[in-house]
Structure 1
């Protein structure tokens, strides 16, 4: 019956419209890893390549319009200034100088107030990067990091205490024929912790039991030390010095960087998280901000610097040497990203339909795969030989011992010569 008929949805002309009648739109774009690459012609005009410009050409043909693509004057993406104005591509749209943002512009709360984001075509993952250290860590702590500082102090106290007790037990035990001097006892106990033996076998049971206890303790400590060292040598992953934002703040020696005008800066500016606010106010502004990717990679190589970067941008910039940076296991921001139009633009539904069609038919996936780059793994299945720099601390320790022994020998010879002269007179 007529009462069961559902009411029709009002007809929307934009749903079926596929011809913009040759309209010419002012568009802005910016360098975006594999999505948008920019170089310049001899006359200084920008040339855009990548899967985003390829997709733009496709929808230009499908919808019969032309996009006059250019770069924003300040070469920024778009953040809100304290005076209420906007920078970058977002600023161009807000000021009416552009209609269309052709890039994977992150959709944030602040930007949503001034531009209309279209259906997302990608996700921007932001991670923290720093210069990759040596697989073996610092050569100066290579042979001491097996135990914590407090454990080394306890171990030293155990060696000293054990030496004194063993000396007293041997000298106080009735009938014991093997008695070492205190300095000799210290040398023997230290040797036990280095898997060395000794000459002479104590007679009394009490001395033997104590000596066996010392040997067992030395074997246990030496096993822990060796196991850590072997595991470190067999692990081909790069060491990760920081695992939390708090750890970066507590260290205090690194500058924290981010791109001026990027969405990550906007999120830090409006964040209520006290850790993020402190990280931004104390470690970022102003010396940590950068405007060009070439600048940030130089700083990562040459300074104590940690940067919040787009993962895809890092892959694009480091594809020739992907293992020079390390990504810290700290969760940061993830943004849905895509094209954007000026607020209340009549083209919004038309472009959304075109993007939805490209997503459903796999066009965007194919274009993205054509420009994608697969980063090789930085973890080798083969062991890496220890180089001279990593053994330098051990050699310097040996050299220090040799020099010390030589100086003491010289002093002994001079003292002996002095005594001979004194006795002769």
Structure 2
């Protein structure tokens, strides 16, 4: 066996000529192709600059060899280093000296006579039972190197399915319908829901054990006192992310949103679903517009334009009757203003005009006020008789422009990064003016946010599926159609943990075999059963309250003016 480290090619090999040496050379030519490392004693592997995957062969004849193999298996050499341990002795005597990590990429080639048998070993945990997979046996002079080549191409995780003896510590939080939690009498947590069922399915296939707990502070995970937008420069994590980073758990079994900050400290499984965050507010009713029933037919800007129009055309009527040579009666400015206002209210006038200019102005007044009156009355009639009220806004921009609503979301979730680190646009404006000033008052959970939405002028951002599961039948709530944050969500594991590849493998199998959709349909939110609000109803006092208050106000004004006029008249008579 070569006793030094050397890089070999198809033309350059060690000079020993034993049967198994010739087999090793054949393996290198057939498997590595371009280059490989063939060594009898290896303390470290320099992987820098290595193109593709590297095959490392080493002997397994003595305890010393076993120690070297264990050192390599314990080193972080990456996924592109494959170890081939060659032995022709009873190697089982040496195995207790070697720890085989769960996803190690070592193959033991046991050469016995004219045959070679391929084995692989792994342990689910540091103290776990050593398990083996027999890959097969072939004649040395046959195509055994092709079998090894096929083995190296296959992901080892597909063969590491028995995780008996592995105990996983997990963190979780309830989030319907993805994760439901039941507290048992013995203090343990039973998981269900869509993700909970998927987790139980993976557990039943691999036979590991687990124990789930809530995070101590009840949060999902946010960087506290961060030193920069990229999460660098210090800071500590709270919630489930913080406990996972601290090594208090191995995996988060909950719909954990992917964010850049989180990805720097934990690893995510593949995102097998997405959360879509939408705006939810209290559904408006006719009482919501009790004081604006007779003014919300037009926007404030339109009312200003109408007022300017009425004043402008009144001035035109005054000018045309004042300066037209064919006009016999001059209409005062006060009469003109009263006439245009009456025209807007569809009232006729006793004023007579004879000039062409004045009649043209009167035509303009008539046509314009007719259009305004038709639109106003159509909106007013439908508003008073049909109980279907439009929301005060339909977008995030509308919430910001309205200025009378607060906006929030559940603390320590991925939505915070969307607003806090936005450079410009509506997200930045909402953060600066609506969220940041009231950040300390953001709700701890969605249930608190929904309560605020029902009691206050408050808009809550919540995942669409979670809302449809928990509050679809709450007919006093309204979810706006646009989604303002869509993010993949999945399980999370400690940085560099082999559990990520294990979970990804089994979750991929569940998706490809239809188990994903089976459980999804089991937990799919049911359709809401809120009655239709587009029904004809009798006008209530709330609908017409503004009209009566206006009548009362103008009546008081009229009597006040009358009293002033009587007072002035009597004062003049005395003089």
TM tier relative to shorter chain: 0.7 to 0.9
Equivalence for 2:552: 399
Residues 324-372 of structure 1: CA deviation (Å, up to 9, x unaligned) = 234374x522111112222222333332222112112221222122222
Secondary structure at the aligned position of 1:147 is classed as coil
- In 1, the alpha carbon distance for the partners of 2:359 and 2:429 equals 60
- Offset at residue 200 of structure 1 (A): 7.7
| Residues in 2 aligned to 1:121 and 1:326: alpha-carbon distance in whole angstroms | 24
Distance across 1 between alignment mates of 2:509 and 2:188: 32
Aligned mates of 1:114, 1:161 — CA distance in 2: 67
Which of 291, 294, 302 aligns to 2:455? It is 302
Is 1:353 the counterpart of 2:501? The answer is no
Aligned to 2:303: 152
- Say if 1:78 and 1:261, in contact at 8 Å, map to a contact too: yes
Report how many residues are paired: 419
Partners of 2:444 and 2:568 in 1: CA distance: 68
1:130 to 281, 304, 310: 281
Distance in structure 2 (CA, Å) of the matches to 1:339 and 1:156: 60
CA deviation string 1:108-164 (max 9, x = no partner): 222222222123221111223333333686333332233344443443344345445
CA distance in 2, matches of 1:88, 1:415: 77
- Pairwise CA distance, 1:170: 5.8
Q: 2:219: which partner in 1?
A: 76
The residue correspondences of 1:5-404 to structure 2 (distance < 5 A) are 8=150, 10=152, 11-41=154-184, 46-82=189-225, 83-134=234-285, 138-163=289-314, 165-166=316-317, 186-198=337-349, 208=359, 210-229=361-380, 236=388, 238-241=390-393, 243-245=395-397, 248-249=399-400, 252-273=403-424, 276-277=427-428, 279-285=430-436, 286-327=439-480, 329=482, 331-376=483-528, 380=532, 382-383=534-535, 385=537, 387-404=540-557
What is the Cα deviation at residue 398 of structure 1? 1.4
Between 96-105 and 126-135, the greater mean CA deviation after superposition: 126-135
Q: More helix by proportion, 1 or 2?
A: 1
Deviation at 1:30, TM superposition (A): 0.6
Alpha-carbon distance change, 15 to 165 in structure 1, aligned in 2, over 3 angstroms: closer
More strand per residue: 2
* d(CA) in 2 for partners of 1:344, 1:204: 91
Contiguous gaps of at least 5 residues in structure 1: none
Distance of 1:176 and 1:281 partners within structure 2? 61
Q: CA RMSD in A?
A: 3.8
Change (3 A) 1:103 1:204: closer
Taking the aligned partners of 1:55 and 1:91, their CA distance within structure 2 comes to 24
1:317 CA drift (Å): 3.2
* Separation (CA, whole Å) in 1 of partners of 2:258 and 2:290: 45
- C-alpha separation in 1, matches of 2:318 and 2:420: 66
Greater C-alpha Rg: 2
Residues 155-205 of structure 1, C-alpha deviations (whole Å, 9 max, x = no match): 334434544554665688789788877755544432222122345876676
State the TM-score, normalized to the length of structure 2. 0.62
- Single out whichever of 281-290 and 336-345 deviates more from structure 2: 281-290
Instruction: Point out where structure 2 has 5 or more consecutive residues left out of the alignment.
Output: 1-29, 34-145, 226-233
Q: What TM-score comes out, normalization by structure 1 length?
A: 0.81
- 8 Å Cα contact 1:80/1:266 also seen in 2: no
Distance 1:252 1:176 in 2: 52
Work out which structure has the larger RCO, using CA pairs closer than 8 Å and 6 or more positions apart in sequence. 1
